Amino acid sequence: ETGVTQSPTHLIKTRGQQVTLRCSSQSGHNTVSWYQQALGQGPQFIFQYYREEENGRGNFPPRFSGLQFPNYSSELNVNALELDDSALYLCASSSPGTGRYNEQFFGPGTRLTVL
């Protein structure tokens, strides 16, 4: 069974640029969540995708957007990068059932540095 994978591992961009981060969910999981972890902080929920539709969003501006594909892999896109976007971006997959919380499995993350 393959776990959650993310690419790239590291990325350096400059202010104003756009970036795309990628995530492959664990086998059998149809839900992907994205989190931003700034240095010295806990992860913050960005949004979640379930069956290719956004299924909840945290307090992030619209320049953070995402996609989920039919194979349940996902992309996180960030436009007009700002210095404060420098962070570790974590992807987590899960397989929601009915009436209960479902455990999320995390990937290793993508470290984004904005200069």
Note the residues at the interface with other proteins (CB under 8 A): 31, 33, 35, 40-45, 48, 50, 55-56, 58, 90, 92, 94, 96, 99-109, 111
Q: How far is the CB of 89 from other proteins (least distance, A)?
A: 10
Nearer to other proteins, 78 or 109 (CB): 109
Nearer to other proteins, 46 or 114 (CB): 46
Q: Which helix (H) or strand (E) holds 94?
A: strand 87-94
Nearer to other proteins, 11 or 96 (CB): 96
Q: For residues 51 and 55, what is the distance between their CA atoms, to the nearest angstrom?
A: 9
Nearer to other proteins, 15 or 54 (CB): 54
Q: For residues 9 and 112, what is the distance between their CA atoms, to the nearest angstrom?
A: 9
Question: 6-31: buried (b, 16+ CB within 10 Å) or exposed (e) per residue?
Answer: beeeeeebeeeeebebbbbbbeebbb
Q: How far is the CB of 16 from other proteins (least distance, A)?
A: 27
